[in-house]
Amino acid sequence: MVLKLQGMKLEGLPSAVDLPLLKVLHLEDLTISEFKSLAELLSGCPNLEDLKTMGLFITCYESYREIKTLPKLVRADVSLESTYVLFRDVVENVKFLRLDEIYDVVLNESARQYPDFIPMFHNLTRIELDYCKFNSDCSEVVELLNHCPKLQDLVIDQPNVESDLFEEPLQYPSSVPECILSHLQRCYINCYRGTKGEFRFAKYIMENGRFLKRMTISSGIARNPQRKRKMLKELSSCARQSETCKLSFK
């Protein structure tokens, strides 16, 4: 059973929502009068396997209600701009996770007021980070990877724009997330521009990924051949911890 709600206002749900057959739920561009309404809807879907939330505007958080765990949820696509509570309470058991605007949540002071606001994703094997902006030390990405001990696939989609915002010197942490050392097999960086931040992160992954099989980097903006050759030369010069790692540059 599939339910997709888009471009509407959600309010006045019954206190006991019961949708035991629902497997797929997509909520996009919704105005939700109370957080309680969202909690009641999700708590009434005990067998949910696929959840997508994008563009949710919750007008009132005062009616906060805990959301019941969704034990069968395996896939989640969550926009974190206004619903980081879902990130903390609902998606911790998924195997596939796509997150939008992680910088806003991982480094958000109001989000940090919650205990364990970044859960341990013990089952997560693939994560996609959409609109991911590398800051000076990539701390938001590294912080998140520290909570994904079994991650095998990392996909990073950046804004497809030219920018020099990421040209600051980088200071990487002395410790390396367990997933990079022991499980990461594939890493994809899309819309690569060759900034210092991007290059240092790609280098960080290749130098520490013991089981990395493929590093795929795609330049999203048309480049002249000379510029692309320079980027490929820089990337190819990076040491690789894994002898079987193949670098693919598009």
Q: What is the pLDDT of residues 188-226, one digit of tens each?
A: 999 888 888 888 889 999 999 999 999 999 986 666 788
Count of beta carbons in the 10 Å neighbourhood of residue 50:
18
In Å, how far are 15, 35, 190, 193, 227 from 241, measured between CA atoms?
Answer: 54, 46, 22, 24, 27
The rounded distance, in Å, linking the Cα atoms of 26 and 24 is 7
For position 57, what pLDDT does the model report? Answer: 84
pLDDT at 164: 47
Q: What is the structure's pLDDT at 14?
A: 66
Q: What per-residue confidence (pLDDT) applies to 202?
A: 93
pLDDT at position 183 is 97
Query: What are the domain boundaries of the chain?
Result: 120-249
Residues of the chain with pLDDT under 50: 164-167, 169
SS3 106: helix
Measured CA to CA, the distance from residue 139 to residue 153 in angstroms comes to: 19
Q: What is the per-residue pLDDT for 249? A: 92
Model pLDDT, residue 115: 58
What pLDDT is stored for residue 24 in this prediction? 97
Query: Rounded to two decimals, what is the model's pTM?
Result: 0.86
Where are the alpha helices (H) located in the chain, listed in sequence order?
Answer: 35-43, 84-89, 102-106, 109-112, 139-145, 178-182, 196-208, 225-236
- 159 CB-contact burial (10 Å; exposed 0-12 / middle 13-18 / buried 19+): middle
110 contact partners, CB below 8 Å, separation of at least 6: none
Residue where the block lists tokens 């000379």: 226
Looking at residue 165, what is its pLDDT? 44
Q: What are phi and psi of 216, to 5 degrees?
A: -110, 120
